[in-house]
Amino acid sequence: MSSMAHWITRVYGLLLRFAERPRQFRVEFGDEMQSVFTDAVNDAARRGLAAVLIVCAREVWELPRNVVREHWGGLQKGRVGMNDTAALYDQPSSWLGTLIGALPFLLFGPTTVLLAYPYSYPRYVALVNIYPLVMLIGLATGWRARWPRWSFPYLCVSILLCDHWIAQSVGQFVQSVVPRVFGLEQEWTMFGQFVQSLTFYVLVPAAVLMLMRTLGWLRPLYLRIRQDWTQLSFGLSVVSALMLSGVDYDEDPQLTLAVILPGVIVLSSAVAHLRSSNKIQRVLSLLLGLIVAVTVSIWRHWYYVLYGMFLAGIVFLPALLEALRPQSKTMPAE
């Protein structure tokens, strides 16, 4: 019986390890749980095989529920609160957080490419319509969980889509409506485009920043970004998946490895980013992913060099800010 108890406790140790409770939970309680379980099995072994089996069955029966609850608890808290030290931000995301954080990269990268072939517009359009819903759910969950790292792609995609829509509307207004009001016959095409760019790159981001600083329910997000700018880089890097997985229908597109691979590479770099345990690894995972993805894309067309430069600029500006900051700050209490 003692040999069996020994093997059972070893299997339990493996189960604890591979059932992948949140890492922090395992580190904090893993040894204690193993020790308490060993005592329980040894105690039951004195009462017979049936008692041992009951102890084991109880653990196995309750394991899925406990694992889900711990992971969900982790997501709810966003892994860290505002009072935590910067060191906690270096913890890798849980596998569930990684899965959720990588979803926008999967959708805007490989899924979009695969849906677009071969020229299946209706199917493509029908399925792409669920993307905003997914983004909205991710955004709401991220807000409830106080903006963990995995929520940043949802946040950035949502802001960028709104930014795009606002800028386009303002540009259109300036280009067509304003000249008519002044009784002019010609549209202000150039000026309209200038205003559109100004709105997209400066006015809307400035307004978003101001809202984050002033609105109480958005302030945790502002503090969170200030704590670690690489989160913003990660969120913005979804743009890489979007731009490098574009399908040009005018060029008789063929589904080749060079078309699908950039999206897969960007997706892999997102997973590596979420599982990294320090800032350098995080920035490097995004940077290497972008470089390799752009290199592969250049096989398709030279203009992806320009895309790469543009992406590097917008995606890595926040990471650069983080690198230039002398020391990580401890955030004030909310």
Shortest separation between residue 110's beta carbon and another protein, angstroms: 36
Residues 71-100 that bind another protein (CB under 8 A): 73
One of 17, 46, 69, 180 touching another protein (CB under 8 A): 69
28 binds another protein per the rule CB under 8 A: yes
DSSP 188: -
Direct distance between the N- and C-terminal alpha carbons of the chain, in angstroms, rounded to an integer: 55
Sign (positive/negative) of CA torsion 133, 138, 141, 146? Answer: negative
Of 58 and 123, which CB lies nearer to another protein in the complex structure? 58
Q: Which stretch binds another protein (CB under 8 A): 56-64, 169-177, 239-247, 304-312?
A: 56-64
Of 37 and 229, which CB lies nearer to another protein in the complex structure? 37
Of 36 and 49, which CB lies nearer to another protein in the complex structure? 36
Size of the residue set binding another protein (CB under 8 A): 21
**CA–CA separation, 84 vs 80, rounded Å?**
6
Of 39 and 248, which CB lies nearer to another protein in the complex structure? 39
Of 60 and 305, which CB lies nearer to another protein in the complex structure? 60
Residues 29-48 that bind another protein (CB under 8 A): 29, 32-33, 35-38, 40, 43
Contact of 47 with 97, CB cutoff 8 Å: no
**CA–CA separation, 272 vs 270, rounded Å?**
5
Which residues lie closer than 8 Å to 6 by C-beta, 6 or more apart? none
The whole-angstrom distance between residue 325's C-alpha and the CA centroid of its chain comes to: 23
Shortest separation between residue 39's beta carbon and another protein, angstroms: 8
The b/e string for 210-249 (b: 16+ C-beta within 10 A; e otherwise) is: eebeeeeeeebbbbbbebbbbbbbbbbbbbbbbbbbbeee
DSSP of 242-304, one letter per residue?
HHHT---GGG-----HHHHHHHHHHHHHHHHHHH--SHHHHHHHHHHHHHHHHHHHHTT-TTH
Of 13 and 179, which CB lies nearer to another protein in the complex structure? 13
Shortest separation between residue 70's beta carbon and another protein, angstroms: 6
Which residues lie closer than 8 Å to 53 by C-beta, 6 or more apart? none
Residues 252-311 that bind another protein (CB under 8 A): none
Q: Which stretch binds another protein (CB under 8 A): 45-53, 62-70, 186-194, 228-236?
A: 62-70
- The two tokens of residue 280 are 């350098």
Of 27 and 206, which CB lies nearer to another protein in the complex structure? 27
Shortest separation between residue 40's beta carbon and another protein, angstroms: 6
Shortest separation between residue 275's beta carbon and another protein, angstroms: 23
Residues that bind another protein (CB under 8 A): 25, 28-29, 32-33, 35-38, 40, 43, 58-59, 61-63, 66-67, 69-70, 73
